[in-house]
Structure 1
Amino acid sequence: MKFVKKTVAALAIAVVPLAGIAAPAKVMAPGGPGGGYDGAARVPLQVMQQTGIFTDGFQVTNKGGAGGTIGLAEFVRTGKGDDNAIMSMGAILVGAIITNKSPITLDQTVPLVRLTDDAGAIVVAPNSPIKTIADAVQAMKANPGGTAVAGGSIGGTDHVTAALLAKAAKFDPTKVNYLPYTSGAEVVTSLASGQAKIGISGLSELKTFADQGRIRIIAVSSEKRLPGIDAPTLKESGYDVVIGNWRGIIGAPGMSKAGRDMWLQRYAKLHASAEWKKALADRGWDDAYLAGDDFAAFLTKEKARQAEVLKDVGLVK
């Protein structure tokens, strides 16, 4: 009888997860299903499963709103000290924290990796009289109120793109009639209904709709033209605007050094894999890998850069 008790006790101890080992990942995606944050959360882990890098499973919680700050607050509240808790994030969240004056910030989390960069696309409905980016700018100038621009959250990358475009075209960025939505799919719906005349979102979210003929891409926000996209850059069209929506992964508050190292090793192996390179190409994502301390240093600079841009275009005081 004593032997049985000892065996049961030993078995009970054996199944307790240690420092994130052999336990499913708890993943926060601070946006809706199918959106950019959702893809940034799921796709890397799916590739990790496919390649055998991480096979313990994962559960994604979608909690969108306020540019990702609602999901961030939930992640900070529920994930403290959990080495298995990670969250997708990106440029939009950095801006949203500033514009929403969020009391919860990225300083309370553990930076892990920047993974991708996604160029923006400026789009219109298929039957729109707006044929070029010059037409779009003229419409915004001539009738700002009647030329609504649909995009992501207030103060996010899409909103900043619209404001920078206005500034480059020499009209007041604060006059842009901007309609915020939670996904590229909602931007497309807004264009189809006529509520918005122009849409801005990540190319990876909009390309499928463009391929289906539901929207037309009239410009992209990348430095150079993009393969397979029959549209000029804003820069070559005479508007000196280059902006992308990078995305990455952070760890829970209080994540241990062992937990941080574990995730950094997993993402390093992911980045080196042929399967990840294929996933990037399939989704039109640019490789923007930056890990650990390098990513943390980038985040510090990015916060300052975005604060300056948001003030410069009048989105924050």
Structure 2
Amino acid sequence: MQRRQILARSAALASMLTPLAPAALAQATAARAAAPAAKAAKVAGTLRIVIPANPGGGWDQTGRALGAALKAVGAADQVEYENIGGKGGTIGLAKYAEKYGSDANTLLMGGMVMVGAVALQKPAVDMGHIQPLARLTSDYLIAAVPAASSIKTGKDLANAMRTDLAALPVAGGSAGGVDHIYAGVLARAAKAKPEALVYRPFASGPEVVASLLKGDAAVGLSGYSEFSDALAAGKLRAVGVSARRNAFGIPAFKDQGIDAVMANWRGVFTGKDVSPARTAELLAAVEQATHHESWQQTLKQSRWEASWLSGKDLSEFLELDLTTARVMVYLLKLKA
């Protein structure tokens, strides 16, 4: 791909990955919240949701919140959950495609982490083996350090990265995922050499927190919901957020002179061999679930932004997302 194409696609993705401006987001959220909270048509007695991550992380929280909302609107009598963690969701993706590729009653959680892991690892089973149903949420990334760290601000972090990046191990989600990519973005923004990055991948947010508290990593990257308890307890200190402006009471890196803006997203998929008619039924049920009070409450508690996208727009978004993830893996010299 030519450099001009790479830059154009990367710029386009940056605009798509950054959630709506506050006024537009407020309008979109209000419009969706105002939708009728009627019962959905039942799509199955029992639905299964495969979560390609360990319990406790963002995908797990999202999948279980979606399942609760699907049950609440009457789309299913019960929902079962199956956690299959490892390698940025690619292990769960492969097992889902093999076991549930034609199962019309089993959904798969996924998102930008999986896209990045596919770009980095180039697994035999990739995003082409599943069908996207809907993008559900967007989430900013928080950079946190242990409370006793000498790093107090985003500028301190950038200076430490520039001085000796290899001496500053970064903990985050699976290799190639959004946390890994953002670590490289921060390194470049700090004018450090990304190839010196020491990245320690974990299968869940709680494991990232544990690595920071044990001193195995100097900096952690994750969503706010996964750091919130440790931040509130004073065990960790947030030094920056990946938004364009301050969020969660945390200063944006951009406002601290570090041009590193990025947003994570999470969504839901179905099997490649599920029929178009059944896919439409599942999509309608998921959309109805996102109007339910329980889902709206989860968004509020977790500080996630509603980021609904489906159909052709979602397919085009995923294609661009994967292309840009591959470019970022190359430019940032990320290693599996």
Structure 1 length-normalised TM: 0.89
Deviation, 1:279, is 1.8
Q: Give 1:5's aligned residue.
A: none
Match of 1:290 among 293, 300, 309: 309
* Among candidates 271, 276, 290, match of residue 295 of structure 2: 276
Q: CA deviation at 1:300?
A: 1.0
What corresponds to 1:123 in structure 2? 144
How is 1:175-190 mapped onto 2 (pairs within 5 angstroms)? 175-190=196-211
Cα distance, 1:316 vs. partner? 6.3
Equivalent AA in structure 2 for residue 32 of structure 1:
N
Q: Does 1:31 align with 2:53?
A: yes
Question: What's the counterpart of residue 163 of structure 2?
Answer: 142
> What percent identity do the matched residue pairs reach?
33
> Quick one: distance in 2 between partners of 1:290 and 1:22?
23
Task: Pick from 326, 329, 334 the counterpart of residue 307 of structure 1.
Answer: 326
Of 227, 240, 259, 1:206 maps to 227
- SS of the aligned residue for 1:95 comes to helix
Per-residue deviation, 1:277: 2.2
Matched residue of 2:135: which SS?
Answer: strand
- The answer to whether the Cα contact below 8 Å between 2:135 and 2:309 also exists between their aligned partners in 1 is yes
User: Which residue of 2 is the match for residue 9 of structure 1?
Assistant: none
Inter-partner Cα distance in structure 1 for 2:291 and 2:45: 24
Using the alignment, how far apart are the partners of 1:63 and 1:82 within structure 2?
Answer: 17
1:221 shift after superposition: 0.5
Matches within 5 A, 1:97-246: 97-226=118-247, 229-246=248-265
Aligned counterpart, 1:41: 63
Q: State the alpha-carbon separation in 2 of the partners of residues 139 and 26 from structure 1.
A: 45
Aligned length: 295
- Residues 183-230 of structure 1 deviation map (CA, whole Å, 9 limit, x = unaligned): 12111111111111111111121112211222111100012211xx33
2:29 counterpart residue number:
none
- Where does structure 2 lack aligned partners over 5 or more consecutive residues? 1-41
Q: CA deviation at 1:128?
A: 1.2
CA contact (8 A) 1:45 1:54 kept: no
Q: What residue ranges of structure 1 are gaps of 5+ in the alignment?
A: 1-19
Give the secondary structure class of the aligned counterpart of 1:24. strand
CA root-mean-square deviation: 1.6
Q: Which residue of 2 aligns with 1:262?
A: 281
Specify the alignment match of 2:31 in structure 1: none
Distance 1:80 1:200 in 2: 32
Structure (1 or 2) with the larger CA radius of gyration: 1
Q: Which moved more, 1:272-281 or 1:230-239?
A: 272-281
